[in-house]
Amino acid sequence: MPERIVGSEAGTLGQEPPPALPESLVYLRGASRLAVDAVLGVTGIVESMHRNIAGLAPVVGAAPPGRTRGITGMVYGGVRGVTRVVGLGLDAALAKLSPLLRGRHGSPRGDAVRAALNGVLGDYLAASGNPLAIGMQLRQQGHALTLEREALGREIEAPQGRVLLLVHGLCMNDLQWRRERHDHGEALARELGLTPLYLYYNSGEHISKNGRALAHLLETLLREWPQELRELTILGHSMGGLVARSAVHYARRSRLEWPRRLVKLVFLGSPHHGAPLERAGNWVDVLVGISPYTAPFARLGKIRSAGVKDLRYGNLLDTDWQGQAKEHTHDPRTPLPLPRGVRCYTLAASRETDTQMPERRLPGDGLVPVASALGEHHDPTRSLHFATAHRRVVRGCGHLELLHHREVYEHIRAWLEEA
């Protein structure tokens, strides 16, 4: 009997997923747990400030560890205890509402909020078992696909031997490929006869973790596809392109079969060498943490997820972040070239509309610099060396406009039409 899998997460392939909670209950229980965690977190910050000020900590340097003592410590401990009791009671009460809410679904707006929350706090949501954490799935039109041959034959209309996988970026979801009444996947399916599939994943997890999970998910897809899967193309927007590169690496290292069917990788505004905004956020964390009187507030900056922090330099591998200092201010990555035997294309965007401005001077799309999206780096060992015909810069285009800009789509279609 083939395994019945609805999506997957690393380490859970082949296991029957737990019964799905109704969307409205997921949001209620998830939000209540976050509220409790927020109160506990703020209590910790206030107590740290109180301890450091009362203890006359040095202006610069590390404050002594520990919590407040005496009556003050009892007060803070009481706040934490009451908060936890209230949280447990609220979670138990919401669990009893499950039969009343069964069958109700969330809205596209709610899905967008959940995706954004996962982008910012996704690793924490997953580690704390919060129902808002997103489990990796392959979807069509917002519905999770059952990765079993007969089920796929029912759920997908006329599945083709050529599959296009679309991988969204940070804080986004699969439904957000549709903008301004346009969806690259649907348009390419009509014009080129492809079957579009959409990845839905927790973008707050480490890119390498999502890459490894995607590698095994695609192996299951290859095995269960209703007909021979002859060609696979992956289109990644922003972080999605990095997840795709990581997936190919881990699949080949594990000697999986699906990379043999991978013919093309297309990147839209992917920060191959990181994004300056995350590096700036990291420096703020370092500077705020210099003094024990401001260090408690650095906790607020550190709530950025592992996925966001990976965008500091464009981490793709476990070794890029494992064993590294949490506030590393240098590029720790192991250079990872583009995969051999796969045609790789990249498209950068710039908000500049001046057609006379040289490409090397163009500003980025508001989030990703042109050079990073093109894979260029001052260190030749880190440059990705895309073929000249396989790279484009679209002017007058922002980062999210890459999802519906007409010129962007024309380049993608032309690349996918190449023999």
So where are the chain's domains?
Answer: 23-106, 137-274+333-417
Q: Other CB atoms closer than 10 Å to residue 9's CB: what's the count?
A: 22
Distance separating alpha carbons of residues 351 and 354, to the nearest angstrom: 9
| CA distance readout (Å), 404 to 306, 351, 401 | 28, 15, 6
What is residue 319's three-state secondary structure? helix
For 137-274+333-417, CATH number?
3.40.50.1820
pLDDT of residue 332: 86
Alpha helices in 102-238 (DSSP H): 108-127, 149-155, 184-192, 207-224
Q: Write out the two tokens for 5.
A: 């899998």
What is residue 136's three-state secondary structure? coil
Q: Write out the two tokens for 352.
A: 């500049």
pLDDT of residue 328: 57
Q: Please state whether 98 falls in left (phi above 0), alpha (psi between -120 and 50) or beta.
A: alpha
| CA distance readout (Å), 320 to 306, 368, 383 | 12, 20, 17
pLDDT of residue 103: 39
pLDDT of residue 41: 46
pLDDT of residue 197: 98
Q: Write out the two tokens for 310.
A: 């990976």
> Based on the number of CB atoms within 10 Å of its own CB, is 255 exposed (0-12), middle (13-18) or buried (19 or more)?
exposed
Distance separating alpha carbons of residues 70 and 93, to the nearest angstrom: 35
Half-sphere exposure of 269 (CA within 13 A, CB side): 27
Distance separating alpha carbons of residues 272 and 373, to the nearest angstrom: 6
Q: What is the pLDDT along the chain (419 residues), one digit of tens a residue?
A: 333 333 433 333 433 444 454 555 555 555 555 554 544 444 343 444 434 434 444 433 444 555 544 443 444 354 344 444 444 444 554 454 444 434 344 567 778 877 887 887 788 888 878 777 899 999 999 999 999 999 999 999 999 999 999 999 998 999 999 999 999 999 999 999 999 999 999 999 999 999 999 999 999 999 999 999 999 999 999 999 999 999 999 999 999 999 999 999 999 999 999 988 766 655 445 444 444 434 444 454 556 789 989 999 999 999 999 976 555 567 889 999 999 999 999 999 999 999 999 988 999 998 899 999 999 999 999 999 999 999 999 999 999 999 999 999 999 999 999 97
**195 DSSP β-pair partners:** 163
pLDDT of residue 278: 65
